[in-house]
Amino acid sequence: MLERAPRSGLLFPNRDGAPYRNAASNYGQVMRRVAARCEAESIPFTRFRIHDLRHAFAIRWLKAGGDIYRLSRHLGHISVKTTEIYLSALTADELDRVLHVGTKDGTETP
């Protein structure tokens, strides 16, 4: 379901189509709605934590060649060392691209 979601806009809008003011406090409602939609569409569904979305974002950012320092700032990490945990999810080629962003051998950021 996440793979089919639009790349922009809201992933989990409320019933009015607006963003949740505090998604964490509405987590149970969001999970019930997603589970029901998946069941209706015969899509396998496994509950996940809100923090899992943060991890998925970070890994996708890096796999797309994003700069680890920008990601670190975006996630609010005090040190890039904290962000480096996501490097273990990359292939050797992806890791090489991430480590060379901003150099003559690097790629553009996403």
Q: What pLDDT sits at residue 42?
A: 95
- Spatial CA neighbour of 28 closest among 53, 9, 50, 1: 50
| Per-residue pLDDT at 5 exceeds 50 | yes
Q: What pLDDT sits at residue 105?
A: 46
User: Across 2-6, 12-16, 51-55, 84-88, which has the greatest mean pLDDT?
Assistant: 84-88
Tokens representing residue 47 in the block: 């509950």
The mean pLDDT value for 77-93 works out to: 92
Residue 83: φ, ψ to 5°: -70, -25
Confidence of residue 79 (pLDDT cuts 50, 70, 90): very high
Q: What pLDDT sits at residue 4?
A: 65
pLDDT tens for residues 89-106?
999 988 888 877 655 544
- Spatial CA neighbour of 62 closest among 92, 82, 89, 23: 89
pLDDT tens for residues 18-76?
777 776 777 888 888 889 999 999 999 998 888 888 899 999 999 988 889 999 998 99
Asked if residue 68 lies in contact with residue 97, where contact means CB atoms within 8 angstroms, the answer is: no
